[in-house]
Amino acid sequence: MHSKSLGLVTFFGLCLGITACGQSSPTATSSSDASLVPTIAPIADTTTLPADTTTVVPAPVTMSVAFAGDILIHSQVWKAATVNAGGSGYDFTPMFARVKPLIEGVDLAICHLEVPLVALGEKPTTNPLYSAPTEIAWAIKEMGFDRCSNASNHTFDNGVKGIEATLNEFDALGLGHAGMARTPEEIEPKVFDVKGIKVTHLSYTFGFNDIPAPNGETWRSALIDPARIIADAQKARDMGAQVVIVSMHWGRETQTDLSDFQLTNADAITKSGLIDLVIGHHAHVVQKIEQVNGVWTVFGLSNLISYLPTTDAFTPNTQDGMIVTTNITLNPDGSVVVEKPVVYPTWVDKKNGVVVRPILSDLADPTVPEDIKAELNVSLERTRAVVGDFFSPAP
């Protein structure tokens, strides 16, 4: 017999000899010596059974997003803003008042400021080197935008002072930004929170109109390069980003048809599986929306506001634009679903102080003059021919 078995037998025998190891037993003890055996009260069972629990599965979280076309401040625009301000200073807010309801109600609104702001004490400039009054940033904030992409072919137009003036003003107003940098660290991906969803917004441009980076500091902005974009998206994911949105300044000016550059780069970055939504700018005309490798890609939003001349080079469709919205849902398993984008067509009214008009709403507004509605209908058909399948079903 194994020693372990012998030990158990010895212990069992010992227990029998001392009344079941201290537990009184009426069958083993006579009445004559019962008083010698202490009475041991039964031990109450104080064990509490766990309450009936139900595993709570986290609910999906959905955020609404809106994004708009180029904010390109020509001299006619800032001169109209001076009129709005009573002849001194600049007030851009009336220009955006009619489209503000499309922007202010969403969880995340992203604009594209194509030009830098002026440095302190400077006056704004226009083509070919642009800079805009700082008051345009106030209007962007007042309209309800949360952040802007800033990488464009005009990023370096006002040098380092323009970049610093732009980002200093944005910071003062609490506006987020991507695509310009005051330090090498600032161009790196950032993660921010929207309704508990960790989001990264990246911004890139095809070039800088042959203007070299100030002082050779190429980190001041970001060029479109699939390897870099994918690496940045991966950095963002490593930092905890659950949704990655990429703004691309690309395409051929005034051309509705997509360029090979757009198609090639859209394919390269979306097939990485790291990007959830692509937003395009620069062409100054509306371009199509489609899924590339399953990723919704808005190739060209055209202009939110500008004053491009109506000539053979810049046809009337440069006044057409669109504000696009979508919902992005983060599921408990970490997967992301981006809904089909919804288009709200816009038109820049140059005849009434430079006003951005929401076409569908203004067509339904009895106070809008009929001559303006006639032009809105023409613009609407131009935009419908490109992205009509994405139109909002109601004003």
pLDDT at position 394 is 66
Q: How far is CA 80 from CA 76, 125, 306, 311, 352, in A?
A: 6, 14, 12, 21, 10
Q: Position 249: which residue type?
A: H
Q: What's the structural domain count of the chain?
A: 1
In a domain, 160, yes or no: yes
pLDDT tens readout for residues 52-103: 567 777 899 999 999 999 999 999 999 999 999 999 999 999 999 999 999 9
Q: For 216, left (φ over 0), alpha (ψ -120 to 50), or beta?
A: left
Residues 6+ positions from 161 with CB-CB distance below 8 Å? 119, 122
In a domain, 351, yes or no: yes
In a domain, 311, yes or no: yes
Q: How far is the C-alpha of 392 from the C-alpha of 81, rounded, in Å?
A: 30
CATH of the domain at 203: 3.60.21.10
If one compares 45 and 126, the residue with the highest pLDDT of the two is 126
Q: 303 by DSSP, 3-state: which?
A: strand
pLDDT tens readout for residues 341-357: 999 999 999 999 999 99
Q: Position 128: which residue type?
A: P
In a domain, 286, yes or no: yes
Other C-beta atoms lying within 10 Å of the C-beta of residue 32: 7
In a domain, 76, yes or no: yes
What residue numbers bound the domain in which 147 lies?
Answer: 62-390
If one compares 326 and 49, the residue with the highest pLDDT of the two is 326
Query: Does residue 128 have a cis peptide bond before it, meaning omega lies within 30 degrees of 0?
Result: yes
pLDDT tens readout for residues 216-264: 999 999 999 999 999 999 999 999 999 999 999 999 999 999 999 999 9
Does residue 24 have a pLDDT over 60?
A: no
Q: How far is the C-alpha of 149 from the C-alpha of 279, rounded, in Å?
A: 10
pLDDT at position 309 is 85
Q: 188 by DSSP, 3-state: which?
A: coil
Burial class (CB in 10 A: 0-12, 13-18, 19+), 96: buried
Q: Which long-range contacts (CB under 8 A, 24 or more apart) does 101-105 make?
A: 102/66, 102/323, 102/325, 102/344, 102/358, 103/66, 103/68, 103/143, 103/144, 103/145, 103/323, 104/143, 104/144, 105/64, 105/144
- This prediction has a pTM of 0.85
In a domain, 264, yes or no: yes
In a domain, 349, yes or no: yes
pLDDT at position 246 is 99
In a domain, 374, yes or no: yes
Residue labelled with tokens 């309800």 = 144
Q: How far is the C-alpha of 57 from the C-alpha of 326, rounded, in Å?
A: 25
Q: How far is the C-alpha of 50 from the C-alpha of 52, rounded, in Å?
A: 6
